[in-house]
Homo-oligomer: A and B are copies of this chain.
Amino acid sequence: MRGAWLTDQGCLDLTTSILVTRRLHEEQTPYQHLEIYESPRFGRMLVLDGAVQTTEADEFIYHEMLAHPGLLTHPAPRRALIIGGGDGGLLEETLKHPLERATMVEIDGAVVRRSRQYLDVISAGAFDDPRARLVIGDGIAYVGDARERVDVALVDSTDPVGPAAGLFSGEFYAVLADRLTPDGVLVVQSGSAVYQHELIAMVRRNMAPSFRVVRTYAATVLAYPGVLWSFTIGSLGRDPLDVPSSEIARRTEGFGLRYYTPAGHDAAFDLPPYLRDAIAAR
């Protein structure tokens, strides 16, 4: 391959194309079509069913922003649960906190296998952390059966079609809320802030009955179509907006973060009015 364009059809009328120079791997797993590409701009990229999931160059943005706002909303998390996140980047960010254990439940073992083989800089050794526990299995079934309660649950899913559809339902959020400790926090990626306002509104509606506070925040994930991406947090305890900057600074000291900052925490929740209105209108 001398150079070809990988086009990520974010929505019907807006696409992003990234120049790729080599396809390192391709397979049809039992769940999805998995590819790994090399690109000059983003380094190696994991592509599932044609959609860019993560890249070496910008994975820290998505993973920092899915992990830290929620983990910091909980006053002192000891146990975390990750649903999805097979590339291990979210696990790495999560384990920067002084947890006892982080359990990751990924439905597709091939994603973990190929990420460890080709994208090991993304997990950066997190799979070998003695506090990490990896379960290859269905996240919905796992949560339904789980006895152990966790302080923070993070859902790093693909788009709400195919294997991930159930991860966006009110039923799943209710069961998850039931598996959280009293100050428990759930965070999910809730889609493009540019062209999935309906999805964001649905996630918020589905979370509302089970959580005391529901808040949506955004980050600019460079390799994703539309760039501006949303995350939604449900908290049984503290409001994410009540986390003092000084506490964020203290608890993230030495983490080496490159996107998330104490000031950026509040800013991420402060959606521009046009976006807040567009979500509220759905």
Contacts and interface: CB of A to CB of B under 8 A. Distances in A.
A161 interface: no
Contact of A17 (B15, B226, B228, B260): B15
Interface stretch (A119-127, A130-138, A206-214, A263-271): A263-271
A270 B264 contact: yes
Number of copies: 2
Contact residues of A: prevailing secondary structure: mixed
Interface residues of A, number: 37
A273 interface: yes
B14 A15 contact: no
A239 to B, nearest CB: 16
A32 interface: no
Contacts of A12: 19, 40
A266 B264 CA distance: 10
Contacts of A259: 272-274
A40 B14 CA distance: 10
A53 interface: no
A98 B260 CA distance: 37
A269 to B, nearest CB: 10
A261 to B, nearest CB: 7
B18 A14 contact: yes
A92 to B, nearest CB: 16
Given A13-B18, A15-B16, A270 B273 contact: no
A227 interface: yes
Given A13-B18, A19-B14, A261 B272 contact: yes
12 contacts: A5-B15, A12-B19, A12-B40, A13-B39, A14-B19, A61-B274, A227-B228, A258-B277, A259-B272, A259-B274, A261-B272, A264-B270
